[in-house]
Structure 1
Amino acid sequence: MSADYTLDEFITRFMLQQPAPARPPRAVRQAAVLLPVVCRPAPTLLLTRRADTLRKHAGQVAFPGGSADPDDRSLIFTALREAHEEVGIPPEAVQVLGQLGPVESSTGFQVTPVVGLVSPDIVLQPNADEVAEVFEMPLQEALRLSRYTPLDIERRGIRHRIYLSWYQQQFVWGMTAGIIRELSQHVARPEDGYSMNSSPLAS
């Protein structure tokens, strides 16, 4: 992502590009996460660090989100509901731009990333039972493709590629890093020097 990449250009390129075709779903359960872009003069990407007491993915950096309820009208509704429950972002305060292609998690969910804009004036109210910390990462830095280091692992006899990255004291890896990397490729410009066609994400 080039130094002069503005929020307006990010929005324009996101809206112009079509998401990559989804892989045939193997997961039965559906989930969604919200990728909140905070509209500061230098925009940021809001992330959480999950509570250390959670049964799954404890202490990991993540986007607010979770599994779909039977009553959810859509996966966008799921992402907004979960973001409200986890960090206190009102659903009506999110300007949804669209979705990225779904990815499969290691826990058997098909997860749909939803990209939305939020105001920097929103007062966050993290749910202490689920969220240990909320932090913002400069969008410029988050979408710098070179910050994500690939690592090939084997899980249940199947080889997966995951991505690892640090931001300050935060370790960003797995599905979260893969989603950010996918977003970076989704809005890439030809002069950024890499293809819009991404490799499959691993969780």
Structure 2
Amino acid sequence: MAQALCQALENHRPGRESLEQVRPAAVLMPLWDDGKRVQVVFTKRTETLPSHAGQISFPGGMVDPEDPDHKTTALRETHEEVGVPPREVELISRLDQVVTVTGFLVTPYLGLMDPAARFKPNPVEVERVVLVPLARLLEKKNYQTVDMTWEGMPLRQIALYQGQDMIWGATMRILLNFLEAVGPAAGQIAALAG
């Protein structure tokens, strides 16, 4: 499956945003083989966080001044949030940047987690780990348009439900960009992912 993903993404040139007054951040879109199928690892953020509280997101966060690059940020934050150290993640590709309505410029990376990786969520930041089969994310029929209210604003968003959890916003835009980048190889990758 990793080889098919690499082939699908080899000609993709990730989009870059050029904006002022945004805060740089990086996230990891982690793929983890649980022994039955490949899962995409998300986090449900705690309700006490100052931004994006209670939302489903990829592990990640703001770039620290000590981070030499955005890859380091994505891997460091993944370790801090879900307990998987950088040595247990193989980065495959950088994905298209997205800008959040809260003023973050997010650089996402796609990575494979070691199948032996064990999750230890940080209870301050992560309520729980949410696993979604990669094959499910690669099927556009699983996405729907929803009307919602966020901070008093009515919004129409593309979303994906996984049980009681709704994936939307910047995380959804990263997923949609990933789907576009993978293109016609999505079906083959979904079959290989189990």
TM-score relative to the length of structure 1? 0.81
Name 2:32's counterpart in structure 1. Answer: 38
State the alpha-carbon separation in 1 of the partners of residues 82 and 4 from structure 2: 27
The alignment partner of 1:86 has SS state of: helix
What is the aligned partner in structure 2 of residue 179 from structure 1? 174
Give the aligned partner of residue 21 of structure 1. 15
8 A contact 1:48–1:61 mirrored in 2: yes
Two-structure CA RMSD over aligned residues (Å): 2.5
Alignment partner, residue 64 of structure 1: 59
Higher share in helix: 2
Aligned residues: 183
How do residues 1-203 of structure 1 correspond to structure 2 at under 5 angstroms? 6-14=1-9, 16-40=10-34, 41-150=36-145, 162-189=157-184
Q: Distance in 1 between matches of 2:157 and 2:14?
A: 18
Alpha-carbon shift at residue 148 of structure 1 (Å):
2.3
Kept after mapping to 1: 8 A contact 2:14/2:97: no
Deviation at 1:127, TM superposition (A): 0.3
**Contact 1:7/1:39 (CA < 8 Å) preserved in 2?**
no
1:30–1:109 Cα contact (<8 Å) kept: yes
Q: Which runs of 5+ in 2 are unaligned?
A: 188-194
Question: How far apart are residue 24 of structure 1 and its match?
Answer: 2.8
Return the TM-score normalized by structure 2: 0.84
Amino acid at match of 2:19: P
User: Is the contact made by 2:59 and 2:77 (CA closer than 8 Å) also made in structure 1?
Assistant: yes
Distance across 2 between alignment mates of 1:94 and 1:178: 23
Gaps of 5+ in 1: 1-5, 193-203
Deviation string 1:124-160 (CA, Å, 9 cap, x unpaired) is: 110000000102111000122232234689x9xxxx8
SS in 1 for 2:183: coil
Alpha-carbon distance between aligned partners in 1 of 2:185 and 2:165, rounded to the nearest angstrom: 30
What CA distance in whole angstroms lies between the structure 1 residues aligned with 2:25 and 2:47?
21
